[in-house]
């Protein structure tokens, strides 16, 4: 089944969702095996994939009472961009597997919700079209290619299109082994391309009798020699703020801050190094290391408004949704992503009120017990 075979979202069905688990179930039901396995799979035994969610469950909230919470305010900002609440959309490849709206639907939903979308290098839609749909509310995620000039051109395109930040993914010199994708030879359907990461013909040339098409393509595309010393080159080709996505240790967080880069705590949704530490578990040491010198973000395992508050309490400026946004897109295109964000926004406001906090600025470590 391709995206074009998928039915349009039944609005009453989407309206009947009351949480992100409902949207996930609806989204999963609309996907064929190829897309579902690509979105859902983690690396190896999926230990880290499970740890992301378990880490949030293990943290307890310490609510305060007898506070006027008649008008709570969930607003915040990231790199000077105002957000309606501290949630954005993480970069993920191939939104066209979920819905014909692809990245355009995700971008429109994020913009209309007062959020921010991070566009993946491996999107099915050109940067310029997504930028227009995002109405100034987008960051661009970059993989460094072995051909530096090709990378520089992609960065120039993103900057010219209005990206507000450049997100360099640093935890994927090689792709983690996602066994369902290997077993069933994941490949993009013929109608989808990768306009920011080479031609359709190049991608097709990587198809083989075994393994994932994406892995075969990625291995020859991405620069595996890039180090901290090379960040100066990246800085020289862009005026955009640089965010390093894939930081899990205090040591690397310190290096990022030293190089003037913001820090995105992530284990790639449990898709890279299995048994790596969960994102929320890594967050406190990262925040303590940078001591407010740079902004800190997080993805991995967020499905509830209380998860958002826990991450903010531990020092994240904002959290980003990966799979949750994709489930929304699969469930109902732009409307499904918007429903996902709206439900989570409502949960954040309720959690703030029940914790006795009037605004996001009042959320600190006193709110949680580890």
Q: What residues are labeled active site?
A: 268
C-beta separation of 321 from 89 below 8 A: yes
C-beta separation of 266 from 279 below 8 A: yes
What span, in angstroms and rounded, lies between the C-alpha atoms of 53 and 302? 7
Q: Name all contacts of 205-211 with Cβ < 8 Å and 24+ positions apart.
A: 210/182, 210/185, 211/182, 211/185
Cross-strand partners of 138: 117
């Amino acid at each position: 089944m391709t995206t074009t075979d998928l039915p349009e979202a039944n609005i009453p069905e989407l309206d009947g969702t009351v949480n992100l688990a409902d949207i996930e179930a609806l989204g999963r039901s609309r996907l064929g095996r190829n897309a579902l396995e690509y979105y859902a799979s983690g690396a190896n035994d999926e230990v880290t994939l499970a740890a992301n969610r378990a880490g949030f469950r293990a943290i307890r909230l310490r609510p305060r009472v007898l506070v006027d919470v008649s008008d709570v305010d969930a607003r915040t900002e990231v790199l000077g961009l105002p957000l309606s609440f501290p949630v954005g959309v993480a970069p993920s490849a191939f939104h066209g597997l979920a819905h014909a709206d692809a990245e355009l639907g995700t971008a429109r939903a994020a913009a209309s919700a007062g959020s921010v979308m991070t566009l993946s290098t491996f999107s099915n839609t050109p940067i310029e079209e997504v930028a227009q749909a995002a109405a100034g509310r987008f960051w661009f995620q970059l993989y460094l290619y072995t051909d530096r000039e090709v990378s520089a051109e992609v960065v120039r395109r993103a900057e010219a299109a209005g990206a507000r930040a450049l997100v360099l993914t640093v935890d994927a010199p090689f792709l983690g082994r996602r066994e369902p994708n290997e077993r069933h030879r994941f490949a993009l359907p013929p109608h989808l391309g990768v306009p920011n990461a080479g031609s359709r013909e190049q991608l097709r040339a990587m198809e083989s009798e075994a393994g994932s098409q994406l892995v075969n393509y990625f291995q020859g595309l991405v620069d595996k020699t890039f180090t901290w010393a090379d960040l100066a080159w990246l800085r020289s080709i862009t005026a955009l703020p640089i965010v390093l996505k894939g930081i899990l240790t205090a040591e690397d967080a310190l290096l990022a801050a030293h190089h003037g880069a913001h820090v995105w705590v992530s284990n790639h949704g449990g898709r890279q190094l299995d048994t790596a530490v969960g994102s929320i578990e890594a967050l406190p040491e990262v925040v303590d290391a940078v001591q407010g010198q740079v902004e800190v973000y997080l993805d991995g395992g967020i499905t509830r408004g209380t998860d958002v508050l826990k991450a903010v309490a531990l020092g994240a400026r904002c959290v980003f949704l990966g799979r949750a946004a994709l489930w929304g897109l699969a469930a109902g295109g732009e409307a499904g992503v918007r429903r996902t964000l709206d439900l989570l926004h409502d949960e954040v406001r309720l959690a703030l009120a029940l914790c006795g906090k009037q605004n996001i600025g009042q959320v600190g470590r006193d709110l949680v017990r580890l």
